[in-house]
Amino acid sequence: MFYQQKTLNCKGKLISIETPLVMGILNVTPDSFFDGGKYQNEKAILKRAEQILKEGGNIIDVGGMSSRPRAEIIDVDEELKRVIPVIEKISSTFPEAIISIDTIQSEVANKACAAGARMINDISGGTIDNAIFEAAIQNKVPYILMHIQGTPATMQNNPEYENVVLEILDYFIAKIGQLRQKEMIDIIIDPGFGFGKSVEHNYQILNKLHIFKMLEVPIMVGLSRKSMIYKVLASDAKNALNGTTALHMIALQEGARLLRVHDVKEAVETVKLWNQIDQLKD
């Protein structure tokens, strides 16, 4: 048995993770793999934020740069132009909402937190801008530490591991140790499904996700509509919701505490059904 963290301190607002949380994706990007270009005006953005909250989502994850395979890193000013007005508007319209900023840049993270974000979701694990660690510490927000091999532009160019699960575990041990030395309190880990992994790697990670519980920090998964689902099903992202739900249940059984999703209602229902089962355990 490992210690299970029960709360996250989101810039002074304490939220419970005794029941797994659902993070709804709000990409204000023109080129994300599933919803790129969908939320490009204030009306559409606020409607999406409202939908996430009404459907039971706990966190709104705002991203201004696509991290799909072969995506290039965009200019900081362009990213700021995309995300800061969105965070400000959501914060003023839904003041109780927990907003996460999905970024690899410390400047974006700092300005997003000043605008109302209460969590930092960094797909790079600080490998592109390690000042993002200080941004999380200074703003007193939880930091989502993801594993990636390479960068979005290169990560799917024949990713290789001797043992993908153990290599990611070693990565997290080293990074968490580094962050604890900096006195970071709330760390969430994300194994980075699809970020420098083959389909087989992704399923090896999912099958052994429980191993990461030994790190005694909450585990987040981002499986939603990814190619690891639709390639197996010979389908596409548009038709990957059923597969996403199936893998979400497995992730919860393996110890996931946060689900990052496009489809909030279905994820919330999956958490409720998992919770019904979990309550019956001794």
111 counts as catalytic: no
Among 226, 238, 257, 281, the active-site one is: 226
Catalytic one of 6, 260, 265, 272: 260
Residue 260 is a catalytic residue: yes
Tokens of 18: 């005794």
Tell me the DSSP string of the chain: ------EEEETTEEEE-SS-EEEEEEE--S--TTTTTS--SHHHHHHHHHHHHHTT-SEEEEESS--STTPPPPPHHHHHHHHHHHHHHHHHHSTT-EEEEE-S-HHHHHHHHHHT--EEEETTTTSS-THHHHHHHHHT--EEEE--SS-TTTTTSS---SSHHHHHHHHHHHHHHHHHHTT---EEEE--TTSS--HHHHHHHHHTGGGGGGG-S-BEE--TT-HHHHTTTT--GGG-HHHHHHHHHHHHHTT--EEEES-HHHHHHHHHHHHHHHTT--
Contact 246, 9 (CB under 8 A): no
d(CA 268, CA 55) in angstroms, rounded, equals: 8
Residues designated as active site? 226, 260
